[in-house]
Amino acid sequence: MEFLIMNGAGNRFAVFDARTTPGFALTDAQVKAICEPGSAAMGPLGADQLIVLRDTPDADVFMEIRNRAGFAVGACGNATRCAAWLIMEERGSDTASVQTEADVLHCTRAGDYRVAVDMGEPRLEWQQIPLKEAMHTHHIDVKLGPIDNPVLHNPGAVSMGNPHCVFFVEDFETVKPHLAGPMIEFHPLFPEQVNVGFAKVEADDRIRLKVWERGVGMTLACGTGACAAVVAAHRQKRTGRRAVVEVDGGELLIDWLDNNHVIMTGPVELEGRGTV
């Protein structure tokens, strides 16, 4: 079967169109084999996630998301832009709706190979993220390092259809996200594991972000993570409600509107095609 190789700000996907083959399914082992860096399907970079497009009566397309470890994910902002762009190109339209397990997301063309996605409202209650116990989520009790001088502390917790824990840091050398991320991902406070963001606020409207994605590892970009970073930063009075988030793969513009919806705008790239 043929598939597309796409990325959004460097977040890389294997995209299978199963709208005409509703019985198409992949096992966890097959997903891992396709997405693994160095695989015959995806080459040395591999894929952060595998996407399957399916028909649905509730939107223009349903997007099934599986991460590199094989398990299902409720949301992916960068993949949503890719799926929406494909539908817009196919139909010659400037709008598209994409259904995920989390929600139906409405998308608009924002230029050549650029798409804006209404990511909906952030979920901020502890049960919605979810956390194991009740607490306020603008600061949660998660620390890493010595009790009297932790390297990481007081993150914000946000769900954008998937759980995020966002730490605010002075630099990435001290924190070492690739080492800290896996320790926080499996913290007992997060029953569904968690995506871990490391955000350096550079200005009221600019954030530098690195994300350890659950089931994947370090990624060049995470769209829901960028949304979560701006929401968490504003709740902690670190930034305004609109900011450019610079990730390793590019830049995403995040706007937390007064109606509580988060709009994410960013690039789409079609790298090529593959077969399995």
Digit-coded pLDDT (tens) for 80-98: 999 999 999 999 999 999 9
Answer yes or no: is 141 within a domain. no
Task: Evaluate whether 144 touches 182 at the Cβ level (below 8 Å).
Answer: no
Exposure of 139 by Cβ count < 10 A (0-12 exposed, 13-18 middle, 19+ buried)? middle
Q: Which of 35, 3, 41 is nearest to 219 (CA)?
A: 35
Answer yes or no: is 168 within a domain. yes
Judged against a pLDDT cut of 90, whether residue 149 lies above it is answered with no
**Could you tell me which residue, 142 or 74, shows the higher pLDDT?**
142
Interval 32-49: pLDDT, tens: 999 999 999 999 999 999
Q: What is the pLDDT of residue 69?
A: 87
Burial 166-203 (b: 16+ CB within 10 A, else e): bbbbeeeeebebeebbeebbebebbeebbbbbbbbbee
Mean pLDDT (the chain, rounded) = 95
Answer yes or no: is 127 within a domain. no
Element housing 223 (H / E)? helix 223-235
Sequence-separated (6 or more) residues with CB below 8 Å from residue 179: none
Q: How many domains does the chain have?
A: 2
Domain range for 97 is: 2-109+267-275
Is residue 162 domain-shared with residue 251, that is, in the same domain? yes
Answer yes or no: is 181 within a domain. yes
Answer yes or no: is 161 within a domain. yes
Q: What is the pLDDT of residue 102?
A: 85
Is residue 38 domain-shared with residue 79, that is, in the same domain? yes
The enclosing domain of 252 has a CATH number of 3.10.310.10
**Could you tell me which residue, 164 or 149, shows the higher pLDDT?**
164
Answer yes or no: is 169 within a domain. yes
Answer yes or no: is 202 within a domain. yes
Where in the sequence numbering do the catalytic residues fall? Answer: 76, 222
**Could you tell me which residue, 228 or 148, shows the higher pLDDT?**
228
Is residue 50 domain-shared with residue 94, that is, in the same domain? yes
Please state the length of the chain: 276
Is residue 252 domain-shared with residue 271, that is, in the same domain? no
Q: What is the pLDDT of residue 154?
A: 94
At 215, is the pLDDT very low, low, confident or very high (cuts 50, 70, 90)?
Answer: confident
| Mean pLDDT within 110-133 | 97
| Mean pLDDT within 165-180 | 95
Report d(CA 199, CA 170) in Å as an integer.
8
Judged against a pLDDT cut of 90, whether residue 260 lies above it is answered with yes
Is residue 248 domain-shared with residue 271, that is, in the same domain? no
Judged against a pLDDT cut of 90, whether residue 147 lies above it is answered with no
Judged against a pLDDT cut of 90, whether residue 74 lies above it is answered with no
Is residue 65 domain-shared with residue 80, that is, in the same domain? yes
